[in-house]
Amino acid sequence: MPELPEVETIRRGLCGFCLQQKIKRIEVRSDKSFIGPKEILIGQRIDDIRRFGKALVFDLTGNVSMMIHLRMTGQLIYRPNNKKSDSFAGGHPTDSFFAELPDKQTRVIFELEKGTLFFNDQRKFGFVKVIPTEEVEEDSFIKSLAPEPWDMDSEDFYERLMRHKNSCIKAVILDQKIICGLGNIYADEALFDAKIHPARLAGTVTKKEADRLLDGAKKVMEASINSGGSTMATYVKADGTKGDYLRLFAKVFRREGEPCERCGTEIEKIRVAGRGTHICPACQKRSAK
DNA sequence: CTAGGATCCTGTCAGC
DNA sequence: TGCTGACAGGATCCTA
């Protein structure tokens, strides 16, 4: 569920809390959520946290890394040993951010020197995977990722769309092998920004529209990253305040029934590519413009 | 090769 | 209250 901006926000946040800490102990509470030998991570120090699309890679000493993918419902929550210090939570927003941990959804616990990192994941689609550091780029998931919008020029993007002429444009931009970083929220927001109906076949998208869409994708994800809190990652102070960042940010996502801020038409929720999809039916016509 | 749908798993919510 | 089905901020696998 976390998309590129959330994962980037988590990366930055966790860097501030976990770098240079040793992993003292790992408790795996769900075998499905942890792939590989956990023993070789014990005693290693966290040197760096990298991001590949929506996946995080923790590089440890000893030439070993661990990839963490949150998929739909994963969360990473850091709690300091000193309860007066700030904690950090990011990922699928639930009350676990503020709860006593571990809780029912805790799948892996990383005990560090100064605190504890909890990997929570309601649906168990996410995972932690141990990989030798020099093989990270060869991992089949990471290897298959397309460039992010900032690293793709508009001609390249248009050509990629035209390779999937008969798929809905929304399905195409959700495919991480075609363009990397968008998920269900930012796909809807980018299509709204570019005034393109999500159910249109990619082959009907003009070059000019593709340019707008690529710009829109950059714009909505940048805005989210720059908002600091992003849409769901959030710093949790000792007094724990909750904020709905998504509502501040999203123009269409989960706004069905509300007026479009561009034209006042009621936002609708439809189904495209098997996913809940939010559009302004007036701004996003089914034909090219 | 592409395109579509089912699937992994758990929880919540609307409707009866 | 209790049941049922739909749905969920992702990605893969299977089928045609």
Write the DSSP string, chain A: ---HHHHHHHHHHHHHHHTTPBEEEEEES-GGGEES-GGGGTT-BEEEEEEETTEEEEEETTTEEEEEE-TTTEEEEEEESSTTS-EEEEES-SGGGTS-SS-TTEEEEEEESSEEEEEEETTS--EEEEEEGGGGGGSHHHHHPPPPGGG--HHHHHHHHHTTTTSBHHHHHH-TTTSSS--HHHHHHHHHHTT--TTSBGGG--HHHHHHHHHHHHHHHHHHHHTSS-SS-EEE-TT-----HHHHH-SSTT-TTSBPTTT-PBPEEEEETTEEEEE-TTTS-SS--
The Cα–Cα gap between A108 and A111 comes to 10
Distance A288 CA to B10 C1' (A): 41
Q: Count how many residues are written for chain A.
A: 289
The Cα–Cα gap between A5 and A18 comes to 20
Q: What is the average per-residue pLDDT within A227-253?
A: 60
Band (A248; pLDDT cuts 50, 70, 90)? confident
Q: What is the average per-residue pLDDT within A120-127?
A: 97
What's the whole-model pTM score?
0.95
Distance A277 CA to C4 C1' (A): 24
CATH architecture label of A4-143: Alpha-Beta Barrel (3.20)
Band (A232; pLDDT cuts 50, 70, 90)? very low
Q: What is the average per-residue pLDDT within A14-39?
A: 97
| pLDDT for the residue numbered A44 | 98
Band (A289; pLDDT cuts 50, 70, 90)? low
**Mean of pLDDT over chain A:** 92
Report the percentage of chain A scoring pLDDT > 90.
82
Asked whether residue A271's C-beta has any atom of DNA/RNA strand C within 7 A, the reply is yes
| pLDDT for the residue numbered A233 | 43
Distance A289 CA to B15 C1' (A): 41
Stretch(es) of chain A classified as CATH 3.20.190.10: 4-143
Tokens of residue A85, six digits:
């210090």
Asked whether residue A241's C-beta has any atom of DNA/RNA strand B within 7 A, the reply is no
| pLDDT for the residue numbered A1 | 66
Q: Is residue A197 pLDDT above 70, yes or no?
A: yes
Band (A227; pLDDT cuts 50, 70, 90)? confident
A167, closest nucleotide (Cα–C1'): B3
| Nucleotides, chain B, CB distance < 7 Å | 1-11
Asked whether residue A141's C-beta has any atom of DNA/RNA strand B within 7 A, the reply is no
Residue of A168, A41, A62, A206 whose CA lies nearest to A109:
A41
Q: Is A289 marked active-site?
A: no
Residue position matching structure tokens 């710009």: A215
What value, to the nearest 5°, has the Cα angle with vertex A76 and ends A145 and A29? 100
Q: Is residue A188 pLDDT above 90, yes or no?
A: yes
Task: Give CA separation, A86 vs A74, A97, A204, in Å.
Answer: 21, 12, 50
Q: Is residue A241 pLDDT above 60, yes or no?
A: no
φ, ψ (nearest 5 deg) of residue A58: -90, 120
Choosing from A6, A8, A38, A54, the catalytic residue is A54
Q: Is A275 marked active-site?
A: yes
Distance A59 CA to B4 C1' (A): 38
Band (A245; pLDDT cuts 50, 70, 90)? low
Distance A35 CA to B9 C1' (A): 17
**Would you say A79 and A101 are in contact if contact means Cβ atoms under 8 Å apart?**
yes
Q: What is the average per-residue pLDDT within A64-93?
A: 94
Stretch(es) of chain A classified as CATH 1.10.8.50: 149-279
Asked whether residue A125's C-beta has any atom of DNA/RNA strand B within 7 A, the reply is yes
Choosing from A29, A254, A275, A285, the catalytic residue is A275
Choosing from A2, A93, A102, A198, the catalytic residue is A2
CATH of the domain spanning A149-279: 1.10.8.50
| pLDDT for the residue numbered A249 | 83
